[in-house]
Amino acid sequence: MTRRLYRARGQRGHTLVEFVIAMALGLVVTAGAVSLYTTQRSAFEHAGDAMRIREAGLTALTLVGRQLQMAGFVPAGVARYNSPPPLFGCSGGRPTGADDSLACETLPGHSDGVAVRYVGDNVSTWPSASGQTTDCLGQAVADSGAALGDQGVPVVNRYFARVSGSTGEPELYCEGSGRVGFAQPLIEGVERVRLKYWLAGAPSAVDASAVTADQWVSIVAVDLCVLVRGAPRSQRLPYVDCDGVSMPGADSRARQAFSRRVAIRNHAEAF
């Protein structure tokens, strides 16, 4: 009788209290794992967004900066070329109209725009499949009939930022001489381009609106800044804009400004 009772007691299962404790411990471990995963995923997404913002900003600075450095360039084989000024800028707008008589069109995002003029050839630009000079979009630029011989073709590239009508995202655009009137996006996320110009002998840089028509030939340097917008986040984030002003977050997207100063190195040679 005693042996049978001992066997019955030895086969007894877990109590309800033990089961509840085990469930609670399991939930705690699961909640900790989920919290750790969520935190790590959020940190990874933020790091990835910051990397994309930085990549877009630096790429835009490099791309537009190199074009600004080309302003006024003339190949060695061209003895003389009486062109319009190497630069033309717009405050809060984009350059429009014919290449030799540009005007400004206001942009909703108040991004500045700039047109860069130079004489291109197969050395200063990537040649097209047919061996022609190309613009900022790789489009072949036909000879406009200027008396340049076979040494080069006048090129005008226009840069500005606006919201894409198809994606709803801000992008850096370029409109080249290869197809005037048809701008194409280059870099996604660029919300605004800010440009200030240094006149020869001036104590400070000025906006395009302060540069008169006859002063564009006297630009010796450009302060270039791009404001890049990232992906949506869970809260609004403040940022510093291109003018160095601390701004509250307009929405839940991170923003960062990138800037550089570009010397117009062909100024003395061309003009």
For every residue of 199-242, DSSP letters joined together read: ETT-SS-B-GGGS-GGGGGGEEEEEEEEEEEEEE-SS---EE-T
Residue 254 has pLDDT above 50, yes or no: yes
Containing domain of residue 225, as a range? Answer: 39-270
Residue 189 has pLDDT above 80, yes or no: yes
CA–CA distances in Å: residue 91 to residues 32, 59, 159 = 53, 22, 12
Whether residue 30 lies inside any domain: the answer is: no
Paired tokens of 63:
């791309």
Q: Which comes out higher in pLDDT, residue 243 or 16?
A: 243
Whether residue 98 lies inside any domain: the answer is: yes
pLDDT for res 146: 53
Q: Which comes out higher in pLDDT, residue 143 or 185?
A: 185
pLDDT for res 269: 46
The fraction of the chain above a pLDDT of 90, given in percent, is 48
pLDDT for res 28: 80
Q: Strand pairing partners for 196?
A: 223
pLDDT for res 184: 94
Whether residue 27 lies inside any domain: the answer is: no
Whether residue 119 lies inside any domain: the answer is: yes
Whether residue 260 lies inside any domain: the answer is: yes
Whether residue 32 lies inside any domain: the answer is: no
Whether residue 87 lies inside any domain: the answer is: yes
What integer best gives the mean pLDDT of the chain? 85
Extended strands (E) in 91-183: 93-96, 103-106, 113-120, 153-163, 170-175
Average pLDDT over residues 153-161: 94
Average pLDDT over residues 247-252: 83
Q: Which comes out higher in pLDDT, residue 27 or 54?
A: 54
**Contact (Cβ atoms closer than 8 angstroms) between residue 198 and residue 221:** yes
Query: pLDDT-based confidence at 212, cuts 50/70/90?
Result: very high
Burial 37-59 (b: 16+ CB within 10 A, else e): eeeeeeeeeeeebeeebeebbeb
pLDDT for res 113: 97
**How far apart, in whole angstroms, are the C-alpha atoms of residue 60 and residue 173?**
10
Residue 250 has pLDDT above 80, yes or no: no
Residue 210 has pLDDT above 70, yes or no: yes
Whether residue 15 lies inside any domain: the answer is: no
The fraction of the chain above a pLDDT of 70, given in percent, is 85
Residue 271 has pLDDT above 50, yes or no: no
pLDDT for res 151: 66
pLDDT for res 16: 74
Q: Which comes out higher in pLDDT, residue 233 or 193?
A: 193
**How far apart, in whole angstroms, are the C-alpha atoms of residue 124 and residue 71?**
12
**Contact (Cβ atoms closer than 8 angstroms) between residue 79 and residue 119:** no
- The lowest-confidence range among 11-15, 26-30, 172-176 is 11-15
pLDDT for res 109: 85
The number of folded domains in the chain is: 1
Query: pLDDT-based confidence at 80, cuts 50/70/90?
Result: low
Q: Which comes out higher in pLDDT, residue 64 or 110?
A: 64
Burial of 232 (0-12, 13-18, 19+ CB in 10 A): exposed
